[in-house]
Structure 1
Amino acid sequence: MTKITLDSSITNKVPTFKIGIIHYTKIVVSESPQMIKGRTQLYQENLYLELQEQPVTERPGIKEWRTTWKALGADQNRYRHSTESLMRRVSKQNYLTPFHSAVDLNNFFSLQYEIPIGIYDGSLIDGDITIALGDEKTGYEGLNGRYNSLKNIAYSRDTEGPFGSPFVDSKRTSVTENTTDAIQLFYLRPSVSKEECTKLLNAAGKMFSQIHGGDYTTAILTNEQAHVEI
């Protein structure tokens, strides 16, 4: 069992902060099936048209996460959360290219729900997980190929150190086609009720499992329930 904790360094600044968790076991990651590729492409094309009428920063989820980012102390213009970065790409018709089924579906969920979501190889996570607020010493080599400072940015860490954030994820725990156990962290919108968040996680978990097989369990961390074991 892995214990996951939401640290008070975050909830002291944003009391309604919520983290959604899905733990997948016995999954098979591969090239995305044509259905996912087609659905993602169509979604991006429709989103592009919508974004010609409504700027990225006015989308409800993006807007709320920019406000949350600022409340935690980070500059939302200099350090954009991952979903805003994805959506800005779509607004320029720079559509996401398929990578593999787990990352592709993770990106699809992120665009659909307008929230940052990270997915990590459970076998590469060492010990318990804490989600906390970064300081000037927090950072790692990211999937973008450079060192990323996480000062005043929410991030996840294990006993080895930081491995994920709603900004950019680390290379160390990235999901590959060899992954069979994965942990997905949803940086939920603070304003959304726990009931709605539970529905969102169950819908995402069901769709992910339809593609990858295996089993999944969900959990939500809040100010009131800051610890969970999965």
Structure 2
Amino acid sequence: MEIQLSAEILKQIPHFKVGVIEYKEITVGDSPQMVKGRLQLFQESIFFELENKEITGLPGIKEWRNIFKTTGKDPNRYRHSAEALYRRIQKQNFLSSIHSAIDINNFFSLQYQVPIGIYDLDRLKAPVVIRIGKEGEVYNGLNGRTNSLEHLILSSDENGAFGSPFVDSDRAPVTISTRNALQVIYLRPSTCDGDAAKLTESLMNMFTQIHGGKASYQILGCQ
């Protein structure tokens, strides 16, 4: 699928980059016990590490809060998804298993402190553009609310916006019926190109190990 990164983002955030993975012929289902166990143990570890710490001081959380500020979105009102996960864990409201694709998404988002979105590719229509939301732009989110996209980095296709590092829309979520998927890793701009590729490839390999199928990735925004 054709995927583009808008010039506006690169103008505001010169080192902005995303990892994009395209999956074909995958099988989504209940997470293996290994994944459930690792996700639970990792959350417990994070919970104890967060004692007497400010979440906003964590490197990845802080960097993405600054991105929101740069594009004009208040990070105190619109917390990016990785920060939202960390705040849940700090309250000991641990994430329960949903299905294999979401569980892997959450695990890597926690590990690298970055937002990650995954979408049903068959519900999207090329080209996909990662850009900044326009005035008055909204969508119905997976949080059950109508969300303002103005000044927010988002992913859109021919039918409009469908995802963002804040909350995804309800238009193209991955389910157990999904066979083809698109994953967007909102990398830290400070991540060097080599590490960005390693992180993206590591996620891709773990995902296909569990879901089967074929996959390919690319890094957008590398200099």
What band does the TM-score fall into relative to the shorter chain? over 0.9
| RMSD over aligned Cα atoms | 0.9
Measure, in 2, the Cα distance between the counterparts of 1:200 and 1:223.
14
Measure, in 2, the Cα distance between the counterparts of 1:203 and 1:197.
10
How far apart are residue 137 of structure 1 and its match?
2.1
Structure 1 residue aligned with 2:83:
84
Contact 2:64 2:188 in 1 (8 A): yes
Contact 1:120 1:173 in 2 (8 A): yes
Contact 1:29 1:212 in 2 (8 A): yes
How far apart are residue 159 of structure 1 and its match?
0.4
Structure 2 residue aligned with 1:120:
119
How far apart are residue 223 of structure 1 and its match?
6.3
1:19-168 to 2 correspondences below 5 Å: 19-168=18-167
Measure, in 2, the Cα distance between the counterparts of 1:89 and 1:134.
27
SS in 2 for 1:16: coil
Asked whether 1:204 is paired with 2:203, we answer yes
Measure, in 2, the Cα distance between the counterparts of 1:105 and 1:53.
28
Structure 1 residue aligned with 2:174:
175
The number of equivalent residue pairs is 223
Q: TM-score, normalised by structure 1?
A: 0.95
SS in 2 for 1:171: coil
Measure, in 2, the Cα distance between the counterparts of 1:72 and 1:18.
15
How far apart are residue 116 of structure 1 and its match?
0.4
Structure 1 residue aligned with 2:185:
186
Unaligned runs of at least 5 residues, structure 2: none
Structure 2 residue aligned with 1:222:
221
Measure, in 1, the Cα distance between the counterparts of 2:144 and 2:150.
18
How far apart are residue 216 of structure 1 and its match?
1.0
SS in 1 for 2:63: helix
Q: Which range moves more in the overlay, 112-121 or 46-55?
A: 46-55
Extract structure 1 runs of 4+ deviating beyond 3 A.
none
Q: Which range moves more in the overlay, 160-169 or 61-70?
A: 61-70
Measure, in 1, the Cα distance between the counterparts of 2:61 and 2:72.
17
Measure, in 2, the Cα distance between the counterparts of 1:101 and 1:115.
19
Contact 2:193 2:222 in 1 (8 A): no
Distance change (3 Å), C-alpha of 1:33 and 1:143: same
Contact 1:62 1:115 in 2 (8 A): yes
SS in 1 for 2:119: strand
Measure, in 1, the Cα distance between the counterparts of 2:3 and 2:161.
14
Measure, in 1, the Cα distance between the counterparts of 2:203 and 2:221.
19
Paired letter, 1:139: V
How far apart are residue 202 of structure 1 and its match?
0.8
Unaligned runs of at least 5 residues, structure 1: 225-230
SS in 1 for 2:50: helix
Contact 1:11 1:223 in 2 (8 A): no
Measure, in 2, the Cα distance between the counterparts of 1:25 and 1:146.
31
Asked whether 1:16 is paired with 2:15, we answer yes
